[in-house]
Amino acid sequence: MQKNSLFNFDYSYLSLPDKFYSFVKPQVFPKPEVFIFNQLLGDSLNLNNGIQDDFLSLISNKASDTFEKCFAQAYAGHQFGNFTKLGDGRAIILGEHLTLEGNRFDIQLKGSGRTPYSRGGDGKATLKAMLREYLVSEAMYYLNVPTSRSLAVFKTGDTVYRETAQEGAALVRVMKSHIRVGTFEYAAYFGSVNDLKALCDYTVKRHYPQLMEDQNCALSLLREVMKNQIDLVVNWMRVGFIHGVMNTDNTSISAETFDYGPCAFMNVYHPATVYSSIDQNGRYSFGNQARIIKWNVARFAEALFPILHDNKDKSLEIAQSVINEFDAIWEEKYFVMMLKKIGIETNDLLNRSLLIELLNIIQKLKLDYSNTFSSLSKALLTDDDSFNNSEFTAWLLKWKAAVNKSDGVENALKLMREVNPIVIPRNHKVEEALDEAVNGNLLLFNKLLSVISKPYQAQNDIRDYMEPPEFDFDLNYQTFCGT
């Protein structure tokens, strides 16, 4: 245990074989400056009030001998379906902070310089990319979607070259852990059976201790991770979130959303919606996210083959039996959640058909995804048809009858208000805020952050944040990885 004025650090990950990590010190930055700090998160982690000054010390020359146990993680992954050896190319874990309640969180520095896994990269990050991650990860937290959190963004004083020369920055990311499907792939492809077993045992102890006494711990872990990944992606679908780069190295075993590079929120509903500049074939489109998480879980199962059973054929049989459960579990969880969006708890075929009919109408009429669901609460209380479409009007009549047949209007309103956000971080508002922020004006950034921190509450003067962008903006909008 290492205590300092900042964190209460432990390093349990270093109990794993040393092939899983490399010790790396953060780059010493020429002119570090804290740009934004998440005080509410800091308070929840029991961090002291002088933390901003301590951060500056950490990343300045005065701290060159501090945090001797910082490390970058080794892992592999399937990126757009292609397997490759990877690792933290521009991030290091400073340590695992233990809160007063005994909760453990990785404190990671992203954009901290080159590591043994940089593969020719510069190990740096831009201010705009790190502010995007800060903004969107906090939005996801307040949308009640499991996610990494952002503690701080600081300017490094470096110039970082991407499409253009940009101001450099680093992000302090907080996460239950950074163990990924790709970590298990790395163990399976480049380690021994004992390495894989050590990783499995460590992961279960850290994240799923209730499984420790199970007869086949690896099998139980596979099933638990699959269920939690389904829950996570169902939540993405609920709020219209598109991750944009669902590689196996971005699929966390703790089922937290992380790595907010080419992410975006869908405006006009269409399952094929893609914003990522690198997703040319729509592999990670909005409507394909269920299929991809199933594919990623299958890769996790393959990585576990050597410890699922001594016999390879038996391992395949066991793993396949779990993967075969995916579709039924997904269908159940997806419809339970999506039916809540229309205020119905009874998950039967009739109500599922009603939901599917609504989604088809929304797609046909090119309606905004979030606003449509949010507006249903008003439509349930009045006869005013603001949609002004005969097909939609006919659907509304059937829906109101189904609501009354289910648990009534009051319960429907409660359900809808819990799961349908009034505001989301609209892509055009995010870009506006980021463009102003990198030019030194945080007014729009802080305003947007304030609005999206209360996504389910009625707020004054937020109409501008509820409106989707012009069609041309959405048609041409692209997001980027930032590396």
Residue 464 DSSP class: H
The Cα 36–Cα 177 span in angstroms is 23
**DSSP of 378-445, one letter per residue?**
HHHH----TT--HHHHHHHHHHHHHHHHTTHHHHHHHHHHHHS-S----HHHHHHHHHHHHTT--HHH
The full 3-state SS of 325-343, as one line of letters, equals CHHHHHHHHHHHHHHHCCC
Q: What phi-psi label fits residue 95: left (phi over 0), alpha (psi between -120 and 50 degrees) or beta?
A: left
Catalytic hit among 88, 158, 249, 474: 249
The answer to whether 18 is a known catalytic residue is: no
**DSSP of 165-207, one letter per residue?**
EEEEEEEEEEES---BHHHHHHHHHHS-HHHHHHHHHHHHHHH
Residue 11 DSSP class: -
Evaluate whether 412 touches 403 at the Cβ level (below 8 Å).
Answer: yes
Specify which residues 471 forms β-bridges with.
none
What's phi and psi for 404, nearest 5 deg? -65, -35
268-305 in b/e form (b: 16+ CB < 10 A) is: bbeeebbbbebbeeebbbbbbbbebbbbbbbbbbbbbb
Torsion angle, alpha carbons of 305, 306, 309, 315, to 10: 20
**DSSP of 138-159, one letter per residue?**
HHHHHTT--B-EEEEEEEEEEE
Amino acid at site 442? L
The Cα 38–Cα 450 span in angstroms is 12
The Cα 462–Cα 312 span in angstroms is 58
The Cα 227–Cα 266 span in angstroms is 25
Evaluate whether 196 touches 307 at the Cβ level (below 8 Å).
Answer: yes
Residue 331 CB contacts under 8 Å (≥ 6 apart), including other chains: none
Q: Angle, nearest 10°, between helix axes 369-381 and 390-405?
A: 60
Please list the active-site residues. Answer: 249
